Amino acid sequence: MASKKPQLGRSVPIPRSPEEATLDRVPNPHPAKAYMARFTFPEFTSICPVTGQPDFGILMIDYVPGQWLVESKSLKLYLQSFRNHGAFHEDCTVSIGARLADLLKPQWLRIGGYFNPRGGMPIDVFWQTGAAPADVWITDQGIAPYRGRG
């Protein structure tokens, strides 16, 4: 859901859930130019739906905008709304990517969810809308696989 009144420039509480969170979009000032934008959220948290324990991870969102950009304050509030939300890593990652793709209609979008170990096993989740445009510099997400104490 996109908000009718932008959240930027006013006090807005953290939404109680992702369903209650709104995402704002703004016009892309360079819609004719192909470029990649990246958001890194290094302190993503959610709740395990089985144990109720917190899960921690890094989310990295890359996208090639079309007509719209995501407004970063609304994105931060949306991602923070997961901190009391019970969902598996796969659900969190794919839901976030799909919601952004639906809102923005980008040329391309990918999301990587790099989660800390749960039960001794890290879980990484990756989703994208399709093939990346050939004429855009798409960099590696640069997050190393989990190595423990290695």
pLDDT per residue as tens digits for the range 74-83: 999 999 999 9
Q: Who contacts 44 (Cβ-Cβ below 8 Å, separation ≥6)?
A: 56, 57, 58, 59, 79, 82, 92, 113
Neighbours of 30 (CB within 10 A): 9
Rounded to 5 degrees, what are φ and ψ at 108? -165, 145
Q: Would you please indicate which residues are annotated as catalytic (active-site) residues? A: 48, 55
Q: Tell me what the mean pLDDT of segment 78-106 comes to.
A: 97
Q: What pLDDT, on the 0 to 100 scale, is given for residue 144?
A: 87
DSSP annotation of 121 reads B
Distance of alpha carbon 122 from alpha carbon 116, whole angstroms: 5
Query: How does pLDDT run across 39-85, given as a tens digit for each residue?
Result: 999 999 999 999 999 999 999 999 999 999 999 999 999 999 999 99
Q: Tell me, rounded to whole angstroms, the distance of Cα 72 from its chain centroid.
A: 11
For residue 16, give the amino acid letter: R
Is 44 strand, coil or helix?
Answer: strand
List, in order of start, the domains of the chain with CATH numbers: 41-128 (3.30.1130.10)
pTM, 2 dp: 0.92
Using CB atoms within 10 Å of the CB of residue 4, give its burial: 0 to 12 exposed, 13 to 18 middle, 19+ buried.
exposed
